[in-house]
Amino acid sequence: MYGTFGILSFLFWPVVIIGLIVFFIRRGKKRSHPAADKEWYLQLTLSKEDAISQLFLLLSIFFFGVTLLAFNKDLGDLFSWRTILVITSVVGLASAYYFKAVYSLAFSLIGIASWWGAQAAEWIDDKDIKTSALFAGLVFVALLFYALGHFHERETKFKRFALVFLIFGIISVTGALFFLSTKSGIAVLGTMTEGASLFGSWQITLSLFVFLVSLIGVTFFSAVKKLMSPFEVLAVLALAALFGIIALLPQQTMFAQAGRSYEIYGGGELSGSGTLWAFIFNFVVFFELLGLMFSGYIRQESWLINLGALFLFLLIVVKYFDWFFTSLDKSIFFIGAGIFLFVVGWFMEKGRRYMISGIKTQSQKVS
């Protein structure tokens, strides 16, 4: 079971990334002028010249970072590689906003999030802080990206920036929930709760506080400006509360049989605590994806519906293997899988087409 499930989990994100690349490449073939295409912001580039200029800007930022690393080495490593990373990322972020460059924005956001993750890992190791605080902090950053995505929708010129923030936030949060909804994820969650409280490190405590305050501030500002619906605000705050609780959790025993290596590989039966958290995360990830599709329908954003449908289909496939692979005869399992996936795929595609056609109908009425 776990070998098959491990393969599916390993293939999950490559499939998602490839699907997103194909989706945006297909969208990129429509080179309509923004005034003629209401979804112009879904294009990675507006023209070949735009693509080339963005690529050269991104390369220049990379070379800037490499140059800083070389100078730092010649000077006897005065600064850590993390400091070089954050400096390069900040320069890239400033360049992205100045030149309206989507490529630089994407890599700068990844760089900043990676910097904090690496820096927080060092703070945690120094004082043996539980790693659940690090995990919660990264989710706070992802939620902040999502809120900032809606914040950028205030102005048309930042619509593509908004898309980058939204996609990073959605993929990161969905990935975290998806992982924690699995038996392996529950096992890792148990190991992450081992260690001292996050309050043992003022850097971790301050970071999480700043992330949380920023998230609440941006979310409520976006809600006041009607850039986020009450449903989205509630979802963001609920997810922030959930991962805030995880950061503060005392040590949890997720499996009935103790043993660190035993738990990491997800063996045995879940304990009462493990069953509770498994139920919570499966419930949350399922309704998060349904909410994503519903949000796309309300906001008349077909890409949100497509993204939510893709994630939901992959979730259903993996859960089918996770729950029924060992409990059913193999022939019955695969026959059932074929029938089940056909039925689920048919209903999901029908629902997706219905929602998108509804959006197009409403758009035609408005125009």
Q: What is the pLDDT at residue 350?
A: 62
Mean pLDDT, 10 residues at a time, the chain of 367 residues: 44 49 47 51 67 87 92 89 93 93 91 94 89 94 95 87 92 92 87 90 94 95 91 94 93 70 54 87 88 82 81 77 56 53 58 60 54
SS3 255: strand
State the residue for tokens 């929602």.
355
Q: What is the pLDDT at residue 257?
A: 64
The neighbour count for residue 360, using CB atoms within 10 Å, is: 11
Residue 324 — left, alpha, or beta (φ > 0 → left; ψ -120 to 50 → alpha)? Answer: alpha
pTM for the whole structure: 0.80
Report the distance separating Cα 300 and Cα 293, nearest Å. 10
By the 8 A CB rule, do 281 and 307 touch? no
CA torsion 203-208-214-215 (nearest 10°) is: 160
Report the distance separating Cα 6 and Cα 335, nearest Å. 21
By C-alpha distance, which of 167, 136, 174, 172 is closest to 152? 167
Query: The tokens of 335 are what?
Result: 């026959």
By the 8 A CB rule, do 117 and 138 touch? yes
Report the distance separating Cα 172 and Cα 164, nearest Å. 12
Report the distance separating Cα 43 and Cα 28, nearest Å. 5
Question: Nearest-5° angle of CA 95, CA 97, CA 100?
Answer: 95
By the 8 A CB rule, do 158 and 93 touch? no
By the 8 A CB rule, do 314 and 348 touch? no
Q: What is the pLDDT at residue 117?
A: 94
